């Protein structure tokens, strides 16, 4: 796999790998991205994907895609499919190395039997509530289950019958026999298997006992020969257990390394919360352009390159961090500024009639597709005596420093003519300006005055009769709160939802060439931002454009 990224910045994980390679502990690097197919991937997953696949790429190793599908009650094939699509879209390739933890169920079962025979696991008949009561608290040690020391043969028989389907869900579990007094809660005889009479998306009805994450993950890593098993900080406490199973089994032990998960300001990242937004209709779906999901960001107009740059920029560490949404937005601008062709589109049209322009005349101007990249070519844009400009680009009573169109003032129509405002037409009832009358300077074709006078303002426009109609959706941050997800379990987190995160503009007028806009193509609407065709709601007659991100604007910032 070859990607254009510049040399990755260093981080503590690369240091560990460098040492392992240097010391000869490992000859190659094998990482893995292990999503559970129970939801859509989001920008937080992208951080992990870029890390794991990026390491494999840079060290000439491999990165496995492994579905961590040990809980059939939450997982679905649909998620397996979209996860794969998102990883590919991001630009990564797992080659032949796609695995399912569920492919290891038989091996895992045999290992469990081995642990029972070793006296390191037992079947517990306690209920879930009883197990919780026995576990103790953070400051008090737990109590042993009365079933903890049942005869080895009984454990073997019971576990076999659990698999055979003789018992109901929740009636028994297999537990590791470790230490009920451990200060690490994870070591207080953790559950290894639970009974779940459920159909599994990958193994169907083959099983009714399913391994827990802790019992499955390390062994899966071991089977696949993972060298560095990278996960997020909350699993740090699980590492002793990860290592305990592997050591008891006497099998190869990969190194688990933990890093801080991504937090982004003005949004939420947990699958639970995202699911809630979808199910309760706060957004239109997982792919709503405001969602931090990969499918949502794609629909919004993000490029894989921008997301990869973002993941590179934010770095990898162990500090709990909140990355400013502005960093993500800047990464998109950075990418799109380079590659997006420029076009003109008027979002809130104001009709302008040019009085001294021959009323039946039409002409065309040549407009470069990118001001700094002549190699991107140019296009013809039609001009006529009736055009539309942005309502914001005309002001009867301009604020200080305003240099767009004003009564009696001049402004340049980009790539066309210099015009001068000679009057306004208002609606008699509302007093609202419905039309601006102008004259044009015939000597300014292309936009430069023949007498060399300087025109400070340049605005975009479209020819009224030639323009096409479109719907444009302006998106803003989903939340007004900096850290909406930081209240943990609270039910209150949705109070920070931004009521204006989406604004739909009908009757926008775009230059005619946009009639051919294709999905996945991004454009810069000059002076306004980057937009892309909405793949879901566009219809042949009325295209719908999503604003991916605005342009920087030092004017509004100073207002």
Q: Could you say which residues in the range 120-159 bind RNA, by CB under 7 A?
A: 126-128, 131-132, 135-139
Under rule CB under 7 A, which residues in 402-441 are in contact with RNA? Answer: 402-404, 412, 414-415
Query: How many Å apart are CA 457 and CA 361, to the nearest integer?
Result: 25
Q: Check residue 371 for interaction with RNA (CB under 7 A).
A: yes
CB of 255 to RNA, least distance (A): 14
State which residue, 333 or 473, has the beta carbon closest to RNA: 333
Residue 292: name the closest of 311, 314, 271, 276 by CA: 271
> Nearest distance from residue 266's CB to RNA, in Å?
12
The answer for residues whose C-beta is within 8 angstroms of residue 205's C-beta and 6 or more apart is 199
At closest approach, how far in Å is the CB of 238 from RNA?
6
Please say if 390 is a catalytic residue.
Answer: no
Q: How far is CA 424 from the centre of its chain?
A: 46
Instruction: Provide, rounded to whole angstroms, the least separation between the CB of residue 344 and RNA.
Output: 9
> Judged by CB, which is closer to RNA: 448, or 502?
448
HSE on the CB side for 40, CA within 13 Å? 23
36 is catalytic: yes
Query: For RNA, which residue of 237, 364, 427, 503 counts as binding (CB under 7 A)?
Result: 237
Single out the residue of 1, 164, 185, 434 in contact with RNA (rule: CB under 7 A): 185
Quote the least distance from Cβ 284 to RNA, whole Å. Answer: 26
Catalytic residue, from 5, 14, 36, 435: name it: 36
Contacting RNA (CB under 7 A), which of 90, 115, 116, 173?
A: 173
First to last CA, the chain: 47
CA distances from 154 to 117, 170, 204, 262 (A): 11, 18, 29, 46
Name the segment binding RNA (CB under 7 A); options: 198-206, 236-244, 350-358, 432-440: 236-244
Q: Is 298 left (phi over 0), alpha (psi -120 to 50) or beta?
A: alpha
Tell me the C-alpha distance between 20 and 14, whole Å: 10
Minimal distance in Å, beta carbon 540 to RNA? 28
Among residues 32, 57, 239, 271, the one annotated as catalytic is: 271
Q: Does 372 bind RNA (CB under 7 A)?
A: yes
Nearer to RNA among residue 132 and residue 506 (C-beta): 132
Instruction: Report the alpha-carbon distance of residue 550 to residue 4 in Å, rounded.
Output: 25
Distance in angstroms (rounded) separating the CA atoms of residues 424 and 264: 46
Q: Identify the residue among 28, 77, 149, 321 touching RNA (CB under 7 A).
A: 321
Binding to RNA in span 203-222, by CB under 7 A: 210, 212-214, 217
Segment near RNA (CB under 7 A), from 166-174, 276-284, 495-503, 506-514? 166-174
Identify whether 22 is a catalytic site residue.
no
327-356: contacts with RNA (CB under 7 A): 327, 330, 333-334, 337, 342
Site string for RNA, 32-61 (x = CB under 7 A): --x-x-------------------------
Asked if residue 443 binds RNA (CB under 7 A), the reply is: no
Tokens describing residue 12: 């503590």
Burial of 262 (0-12, 13-18, 19+ CB in 10 A): buried
What is each CA distance from 506 to 73, 177, 265, 503, in whole angstroms?
A: 43, 65, 30, 10
**Cα distance between residue 526 and residue 191, in whole Å:** 59
State how beta strands 410-413 and 522-525 pair. Answer: unpaired
Size of the chain, expressed as the number of residues it contains: 559
Active-site residue, from 148, 253, 261, 494: 261
CB of 177 to RNA, least distance (A): 15
Considering the complex, state which of residue 409 and residue 543 has its C-beta at the smaller distance from RNA: 409
- How far is it, in rounded angstroms, from Cα 498 to Cα 290? 11
Interface with RNA: number of residues (CB under 7 A): 91
Residues between 252 and 271 with contacts to RNA, criterion CB under 7 A: 260
- How many angstroms from the chain centroid is the CA of residue 66? 20
Between 422 and 551, CB nearer to RNA: 551
| Helix extents (H) in 72-187 | 77-90, 105-117, 128-135, 152-164
| 56, 86 Cβ separation under 8 angstroms | no
In the complex, least distance from residue 422 CB atom to RNA, rounded to whole angstroms: 20
Q: Binders of RNA among 503-542, rule CB under 7 A? A: 524, 526-527
Per CB under 7 A, the list member of 40, 48, 61, 68 interacting with RNA is: 68
Catalytic residues: 36, 261, 271
């Amino acid at each position: 796999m070859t990607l254009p990224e510049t040399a990755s910045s260093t981080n503590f994980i690369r240091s560990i790998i460098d040492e392992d390679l240097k010391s000869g502990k490992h000859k190659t690097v094998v990482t893995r991205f292990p999503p559970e197919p129970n939801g859509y991937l989001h920008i937080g997953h992208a951080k992990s994907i870029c890390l794991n696949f990026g390491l494999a790429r840079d060290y000439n190793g491999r990165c496995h895609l492994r579905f961590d599908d040990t809980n059939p009650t939450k997982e679905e094939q649909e998620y397996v499919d979209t996860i794969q699509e998102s990883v590919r879209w991001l630009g990564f390739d797992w080659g032949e190395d796609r695995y399912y933890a569920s492919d290891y169920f038989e091996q895992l079962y045999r290992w469990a039997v081995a642990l029972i025979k070793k006296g390191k696991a037992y079947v517990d008949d306690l209920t879930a509530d009883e197990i919780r009561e026995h576990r103790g608290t953070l400051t008090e040690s737990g109590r042993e289950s009365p079933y903890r020391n049942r005869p080895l043969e009984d454990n073997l028989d019971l576990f076999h019958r659990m698999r055979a389907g003789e018992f109901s869900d929740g009636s028994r579990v297999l537990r590791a026999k470790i230490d009920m007094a451990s200060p690490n809660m994870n070591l207080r005889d953790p559950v290894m298997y639970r009974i779940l009479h459920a159909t599994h998306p990958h193994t169907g009805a083959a099983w009714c006992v399913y391994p827990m994450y802790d019992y499955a993950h390390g062994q899966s890593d071991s089977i696949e020969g993972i060298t560095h098993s990278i996960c997020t900080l909350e699993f740090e406490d699980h590492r002793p257990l990860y290592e305990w199973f592997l050591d008891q089994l006497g099998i190869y032990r990969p190194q688990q390394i933990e890093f801080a998960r991504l937090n982004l300001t003005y949004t939420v990242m947990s699958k639970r919360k995202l699911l809630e937004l979808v199910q309760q209709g706060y957004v239109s779906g997982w792919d709503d352009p405001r969602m931090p999901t990969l499918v949502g960001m794609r629909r919004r107009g993000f490029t894989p390159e921008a997301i990869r740059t973002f993941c590179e920029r934010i770095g990898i560490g162990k500090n709990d961090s909140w990355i400013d949404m502005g960093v993500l937005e800047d990464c998109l601008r950075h990418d799109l500024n380079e590659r997006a062709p420029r076009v003109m589109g008027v979002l809130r049209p104001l009709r302008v009639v040019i009085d001294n322009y021959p009323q039946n005349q039409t002409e065309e101007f040549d407009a470069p597709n990118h001001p700094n990249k002549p190699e991107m070519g140019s296009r013809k844009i039609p001009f006529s005596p009736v055009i539309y400009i942005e309502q914001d680009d005309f002001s009867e009573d301009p604020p200080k420093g305003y240099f767009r169109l004003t009564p009696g003032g001049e402004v340049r129509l980009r790539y066309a003519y210099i015009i001068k405002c000679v009057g306004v037409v208002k609606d008699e009832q509302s007093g609202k300006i419905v039309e601006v009358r102008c004259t044009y300077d015939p000597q300014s074709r292309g936009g430069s005055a023949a007498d060399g006078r300087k025109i400070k303002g340049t605005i975009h426009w479209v020819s009224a009769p030639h323009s096409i109609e479109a719907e444009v959706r302006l998106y803003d941050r989903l939340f007004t709160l900096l850290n909406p997800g930081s209240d943990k379990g609270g039910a209150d987190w949705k109070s920070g939802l931004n009521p204006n995160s989406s604004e739909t503009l009908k009757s926008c007028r775009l230059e005619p060439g946009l009639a051919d806009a294709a999905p996945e193509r991004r454009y810069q609407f000059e002076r306004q931002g980057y937009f892309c065709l909405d793949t879901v709601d566009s219809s042949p007659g009325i295209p719908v454009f999503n604003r991916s991100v605005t342009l920087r604007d030092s004017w509004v910032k100073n207002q």
